[in-house]
């Protein structure tokens, strides 16, 4: 497993915990970092901070493109993988879209339901297809 894949998994863990407990992700990140054997991959914090910074817009996009699913109804793992994937597609200039999608689909397949991989793929592929037409906040 590559360092970035591990960072994505760790960011997913942080965002998942924060989501389920309805607490700030920054506090969960600090607790996870304190319990870790060593320093966390810096990309973990980049992902968590990026998702937190843009979460309202990311959630709007998930709601718009997740056909027949509300944010509240979808599995928390899927919801947070979509948040990470959308952040990477729209706000990360150093990650190719195909890599962001592939990584999210792989994690969904191994950590969520049998249909999660195809669901995550569908939503992220749609966001990738329309990204040049999306209006994003300046940051």
CATH number at residue 76: 1.10.940.10
pLDDT over threshold 70, residue 24: yes
Q: Is residue 100 part of a domain?
A: yes
Q: Counting every residue, how long is the chain?
A: 139
User: What are the C-alpha distances in Å from 45 to residues 4, 42, 82?
Assistant: 12, 5, 17
Provide the number of structural domains found in the chain: 1
Examine residue 117 and state whether it is found in any structural domain, yes or no: yes
Look at residue 1 and give its three-state secondary structure.
coil
Note whether residue 139 is domain-resident: no
Task: Give the structural domain span for 88.
Answer: 3-133
Residue 42's contacts (CB-CB under 8 Å, 6 or more residues apart) are 7
Q: Assign residue 124 a region: left if phi > 0, alpha if psi is -120 to 50, beta otherwise?
A: alpha
The verdict on residue 70 lying in a domain is: yes
pLDDT for res 39: 86
Tokens (6 digits) for 130: 């329309």
Residue 89 in any domain: the answer is: yes
Residue 138 lies in a domain: no
pTM: 0.94
Chain segment 30-66, per-residue pLDDT in tens:
999 999 988 899 999 999 999 999 999 999 999 999 9
77 in a domain, yes or no? yes
Under the banding of pLDDT at 50, 70 and 90, the label for residue 135 is: confident
Share of the chain above pLDDT 70, in %: 98
Q: Is the pLDDT of residue 89 over 60?
A: yes
């Amino acid at each position: 497993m590559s360092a970035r894949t591990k960072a994505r998994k760790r960011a997913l863990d942080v965002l998942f915990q924060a989501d389920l407990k309805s607490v700030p992700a920054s506090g969960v990140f600090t607790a996870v970092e304190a319990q870790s054997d060593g320093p966390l991959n810096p990309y973990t914090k980049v992902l968590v901070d990026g998702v937190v910074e843009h979460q309202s817009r990311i959630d709007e996009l998930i709601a718009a493109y997740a056909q027949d699913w509300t944010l509240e109804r979808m599995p928390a793992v899927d919801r947070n993988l979509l948040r990470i994937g959308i952040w990477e597609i729209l706000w990360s200039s150093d990650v190719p879209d195909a890599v962001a999608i592939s990584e999210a689909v792989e994690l969904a397949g191994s950590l969520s339901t049998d249909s999660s991989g195809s669901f995550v793929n569908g939503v992220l592929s749609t966001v990738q297809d329309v990204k040049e037409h999306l209006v994003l906040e300046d940051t």
